[in-house]
Amino acid sequence: MTAIGIDLGTTNSVVARYDSGGAGSSVVTVGGARSTPSVVSMRSRDGKEELLVGSPAFNWAKRDPENTILSVKRLMGRDFADEAVAEARERRSYRIVPGSDEDPRAHVVIGRTTYTPAQVSTLILERLKQGATEKLGTDVTHAVITVPAYFKEAQRAATREAGEAAGLVVKRIIDEPTAAAVAFGLEHHDGGRHRVLVYDLGGGTFDISILNTVTDADGRHHFHVLDFNGDNWLGGDDFDQLITGRITEWVRQNAGVDPSGDSEFLFHAKKAAEEAKRELSTAESTDIIIPAAYRSAGRPVDVEMTLTRAEFEEMITPLVDRTIALVRTALDRQHLAPDDISDVLLVGGSTLVPKVCEVVEDFFGSGKVRRDIDAMECVAIGAGILASTLHGVECAKCGTVNDESAKECTECRGTLVSARSVGELQIYDVTGMALGVAAVKGSQADTFVPIIPRGTPYPMSEPMRHTFQATDGRLIRVPVYEGDSGIASENQEQGVIEYELPEEIDIHSRVDVSFLFDRNRELHVTINVPGTSLVYRKKLRFDTARSQGPSKVAVEEDEATHRADLMYVEEVTRHFVRTYGQYLDPSQAMKIEGDLNRAQQTLVFSDPAECRRMTSVLEGDIFGSGLASQLYLAERAADRATPDDAHRINQAIVAVQQAFQQGRRETVLEQSQALRVMVAKVGQEYEVSAIGDSRSFDGLLKLLDEA
Amino acid sequence: MSSREAQRSSADPGPADGGALGEVLAGNRTATLDLVRALDAHREHTEHVLRELDRVERDLARLLSGITGALDAFDRLLAHDDADFESYRASVHRTRQLLIDVLCNNSELELIGWPGELADPETHHVAGVAEAAGLPRDAVVKVLKHGIRYRGELVYRASVIVASGEEKQQ
């Protein structure tokens, strides 16, 4: 077994290996280079299409931009409807398309073939595996692959899928800042708690992560990413661009011509800018000389200028200040001051610019800033250390150590889903965000209910469970979200589990939903109905159709329609209150009164999205207000039922009303239960909605407290 | 027993330990042989590195001499500021050829990127695409920066503008 660490970067990828025999960590060159462009392209020749990966693809990017996939990492595991995908579509020349009907993920097109971003990453990982195998002279079989801390579960799953498709046993998917911390040896800190800030300024992206590192009583190291922030479109390339602009300006002023539209001039200016930036890392000034950089009126124009470090630093100050503002935001969000940070790690090639380092040191204090490991390679090096110090997974049942590729223990045949990694370096990850489900709470069908809280160490030995109430007798639908907002649709949807029940259950039955996060950070969901044999187990898939949450398309619908809908529902709600108000709890009555006032205000301003939301809120009031709603629905069901059924329902309604007026609470509960069954039966037999025109929750689960 | 006596006792094997002594000696012999083999390999490697260093020094000397020669040629050209344009241009062209010869003929160095050749994504970075009559698709129209291959290994790729393969619309 030969294991490597892979920093699968947005622009470039790096492979590293750790030799525990004494040689230590080193970067593995691929095709002679220390980094490989994360690019896939295509060359057409003699009617044949040939895929290019890495440097050849980068070299060919301008030849065929429509078939060159750059920065595919930005698309990994994202839905086509994702904002980040829309932004990439604006900036990239290649085609980004949605998947098939049931697959919401973004895909890319090369030639006549459509690929998922994971498939593109597979091509890159295959190239890295092959290059490392050639360089090391041994078959590379296992890998630890890094991902940004902000990657959601779907993005991590896509990365793992890419690694496995490339023929690698993926030992771990690990956060980039955690890998950097390992490279800097932070797990060797003496006991206690440390708070680390990773400042990662690459060529095109800027990421900040705040980590807690804790060593527990058993000597295991826990790395917990507390928060992350950044700018997806800020990096060292912007510095180069500023110098290129300065060279262009020099030509304008000294030769009286504008070369900014000349691609050849810009090529030479950019090369000179990159070189000048490198020189200014050590020198106080640099000469930029480009003979015959531009041709004007038949005469060559030479560039011959000097750029001082002071001038360069003045140019980049606004950009560097922006990074510090983002650092401050990340700290503020965690209620931390710079003094609360024990170590600052500088990662990414652009941190080699002295001004960047100086500003970070000024902010945090120079003693804390670490840059003793190559900033461009430390993430890969950390992954390489982990790759060679993790030696399989230990069966929780019998203690046998198995290879990471094993699904079950070779000794006892027990499942290895929650098996922990074994190795010299004991590092445990914790979840960066809460994982939970969308459920119904009161009138809101978009409530996020966390099941695995943020900061939970994994792999988990036991599943975590939450109990709900069914809203549908034949279907249980569990949309899984990841995030911190109490509103599900404001979080990142990870997929949907749908359980079509083989036998009908009472719509108010209790339903348990359990989540188990395994060592591969894959989510195992179990749905069961206590008291029955109904159990449904499923591993979450990220390529399934998403739930029908609030969508932008809906928001953009016709304004007049939404306004008319709200006016109608407002009138129905007022009628509901007039007729059934006596059966409302005082708190329910107050809530509906408040909602009606808000609905009126909404009608004044006529915002379509708010009209739609208030319509939903009022519908929730009508159909979710306990006994009053039940009586309303029963009367509506009676209107549509046969005379016999209508008679029985009306009798039950009278019985409930009498019991209520006489204050016989228990009888009310019993009678209302019978009434509910009758209404459901009518709905089933005559295809009359069991809850009239109420919102269908499509199998969503309801919070017990709100039942 | 003093500690010194104890040490002597454990270091001096008695007649009963003859077999063990034999094993120790055999082990030492094997270790010595391994050491000699490792030293031989090390010496061989060092000699190889020294030979390579010598070769690199010779290459470098030739390269520097050639570059200095080209520099002298430029100085001579600049001294003739009254030369006519065409003869001046011809001299510049010859000096350029001198530099190419210096780079390519004396130091196992190969320049990559020549107009007319087909661009190869392994060695040519396409910086732009242009319409060029008569040139096939992907043929190099212009070289923005030469690439270098040294002793068969790619050091720098060439940056070129290639032909689109489509004729200019009239």
- Cβ separation of A63 and B138 shorter than 8 Å? yes
pLDDT, mean of residues A465-493: 87
Query: pLDDT confidence of A605, banded at 50, 70, 90?
Result: low
Closest chain B CA to residue A57: B121
User: For residue A36, is pLDDT > 70?
Assistant: yes
CB pairs under 8 A between A and B: 45
Q: Domain boundary residue among B107, B129, B162? A: B107
> Is A427 a residue whose pLDDT tops 50?
yes
Does A188 reach chain B within 8 Å, measured CB to CB?
Answer: no
Q: What is the pTM of this model?
A: 0.72
Mean pLDDT of all residues in A649-658:
86
CATH number, position B163: 2.30.22.10
Q: Please indicate if any CB of chain B lies within 8 Å of the CB of A367.
A: no
Q: What is the pLDDT of residue A12?
A: 95
Which residues in chain B have Cβ-Cβ distances shorter than 8 Å to A57?
A: 121
A118 vs A225, which has greater pLDDT?
A118
Cα A647 from Cα A649, distance rounded (Å): 5
- Percentage above 90 pLDDT, chain A: 43
- List, for residues A315-367, the tens digit of each pLDDT value: 999 999 999 999 999 999 888 999 999 999 999 999 999 999 999 999 999 88
Q: In chain A, where are the structural domains located?
A: 2-176, 236-315, 459-557, 626-706
Best probe of the A interface among B92, B96, B125, by most A CBs < 10 A, is: B125
| Weakest-pLDDT range from A485-489, A635-639, B154-158 | A635-639
Q: In which domain, by residue range, is B37 found? A: 1-107
Which candidate from B122, B144, B157 shows the least CB-CB separation from A267?
B144
Q: What is the mean pLDDT of chain A?
A: 85
Whether residues B18 and B60 fall in one domain: yes
List, for residues A102-145, the tens digit of each pLDDT value.
Answer: 788 899 999 989 999 999 999 999 999 999 999 999 999 999 99
Angle at the Cα of A562 from the Cα atoms of A556 and A563, rounded to 5 degrees: 130
Question: Is B122 within 8 Å of A264 when comparing Cβ atoms?
Answer: no
Residue to test with chain B: of A30, A49, A50, A63, most B Cβ within 10 A? A63
Say if residue B59 is in the same domain as residue B128: no
Q: Are strands A434-441 and A510-517 parallel, antiparallel or unpaired?
A: unpaired
| Residue B71: predicted pLDDT | 93
Give the full edge-to-edge strand order of the sheet including B153-156: B109-112, B147-150, B153-156
Question: Do residues A269 and A244 make contact, with C-beta atoms less than 8 angstroms apart?
Answer: yes
pLDDT at site A550: 43
Last residue of a domain, one of B66, B89, B107: B107
Name the more confident of A704 and B30.
B30
In a 13 Å sphere around the CA of A76, the CA atoms on its Cβ side amount to 30
Q: Are B120 and B138 in the same domain?
A: yes
| A265 Cα to chain B: minimum distance (Å) | 10
Q: Are residues B87 and B7 in the same domain?
A: yes
Residue A109 and residue A96: Cα distance in Å, rounded?
7
> Looking at the structure, do residues B10 and B75 belong to the same domain, yes or no?
yes
Backbone angles phi, psi at A242, to 5 degrees: -65, -40
Residues of B in contact with A62 (CB under 8 A): 126-129
Question: Which residues of chain A lie closer than 8 angstroms to B138, CB-CB?
Answer: 45, 63
For the stretch A358-410, pLDDT in tens is: 999 999 998 899 988 899 999 999 999 999 888 888 887 888 888 888 888 88
**Interface contact flag, B157 A61, Cβ < 8 Å:** no
Given a cut of 70, is residue B10 above it in pLDDT?
no
**Residues of B numbered 62-121 whose beta carbons fall under 8 angstroms of chain A's beta carbons: which are they?**
119, 121
User: Within an 8 Å CB–CB cutoff, is residue B145 touching chain A?
Assistant: yes
Say yes or no for a CB contact (<8 Å) between A267 and B128.
Answer: yes
Task: Confirm or reject contact between B158 and chain A (CB < 8 A).
Answer: no
Q: What integer pLDDT is reported at residue A688 of this predicted model?
A: 39
pLDDT-derived band at A546 (thresholds 50, 70, 90) equals low
Distance in Å from the first CA to the final CA of chain A: 55
| Contact B124/A at CB under 8 A | yes
| Residues A58, B153: C-beta atoms closer than 8 Å | no
Q: Please report the residues numbered 59 through 78 in chain A whose beta carbons come closer than 8 angstroms to any beta carbon of chain B.
A: 59-63
> Is B126 close to A52, i.e. CB distance below 8 A?
no
Helix, strand, coil percent values for chain A (each to nearest 5): 40, 30, 30
Contact call for A32 and B154, based on CB within 8 A:
yes
Closest Cβ–Cβ partner in A43, A263, A271 for B128: A263
Q: Considering only alpha carbons, which residue of chain A is nearest residue B129? A: A63
- Which residue in chain B has the smallest CA separation from A292? B144
Does B153 contact chain A (CB < 8 Å)? yes
CB-CB contact of A460 with A522 (8 Å): no
Of B107, B132, B148, which residue sits at a domain end?
Answer: B107
User: Distance, in angstroms, between A33 CA and closest chain B CA?
Assistant: 10
Q: Cα distance from A259 to chain B (closest Cα, Å)? A: 16
CATH of domain A459-557: 2.60.34.10
Retrieve residue A309's tokens.
């470090």
Residue B102 and residue B29 share a domain: yes
CATH of A236-315, one of 3.90.640.10, 3.90.420.10, 3.20.20.80, 3.40.190.10: 3.90.640.10
Q: Which of B126, B145, B154 sits opposite A62 (nearest CB)?
A: B126
For every residue of B30-86, DSSP letters joined together read HHHHHHHHHHHHHHHHHHHHHHHHHHHHHHHHHHHHHHHHHHHHHHHHHH-TTS-HH
Q: Which of A43, A60, A267 faces B159 most closely, judged by CB atoms?
A: A267
Q: Which one of B121, B128, B145 has the shortest CB-CB distance to A52?
A: B121
Q: Which pLDDT belongs to residue A554?
A: 36
Which of B144, B145, B162 minimises the CB distance to A63? B162
pLDDT at B170: 44
Q: Is there a single domain that holds both residue B152 and residue B70?
A: no
> Is the same domain home to B119 and B44?
no
Shared domain for B98 and B144, answered yes or no, is: no
Give the C-alpha distances (Å, rounded to integers) separating B51 from B43, B46, B56, B57, B151.
Answer: 12, 9, 9, 10, 15
Q: What residues of A are in contact with residue B139 (Cβ under 8 Å)?
A: none
Residues B54 and B113 in one domain: no
Order of strands across the sheet that contains A390-394: A401-402, A390-394, A420-423
Q: In this predicted model, what pLDDT tens digit does every residue of A468-481 receive, in sequence order?
A: 988 888 899 999 99
- Whose tokens are 């009209």? That residue is A611
* Total domains present in chain B: 2
Q: Summarize the confidence of residues A256-261 as an average pLDDT.
A: 93
Q: Cα distance from A60 to chain B (closest Cα, Å)?
A: 6
Q: Is the pLDDT confidence value at A511 over 90?
A: yes
Higher-pLDDT residue of A582, A144: A144
Are B157 and A60 within 8 A, CB to CB?
no
Residue of B122, B123, B145 for testing the chain A interface, max A β-carbons within 10 Å: B122
Q: Does A56 touch chain B (CB under 8 A)?
A: yes
Total count of residues recorded for chain A:
707
> What are A159-192's pLDDT values in tens digits?
999 999 999 999 988 889 999 999 988 766 665 6
A-chain residue closest to B140, CA distance: A63
Share of chain A above pLDDT 70, in %: 91
> Any idea which architecture A2-176 has in CATH?
2-Layer Sandwich (3.30)
Distance from CA of B128 to the nearest CA of A (A): 6
Angle between helices A354-364 and A309-333 (to 10 degrees): 40
What percent of chain B stands above pLDDT 90?
58
Cβ atoms of A522 and A540 closer than 8 Å: yes
Judge: B162–A59 Cβ closer than 8 Å, yes or no.
Answer: no
Q: Are residues B53 and B93 in the same domain?
A: yes
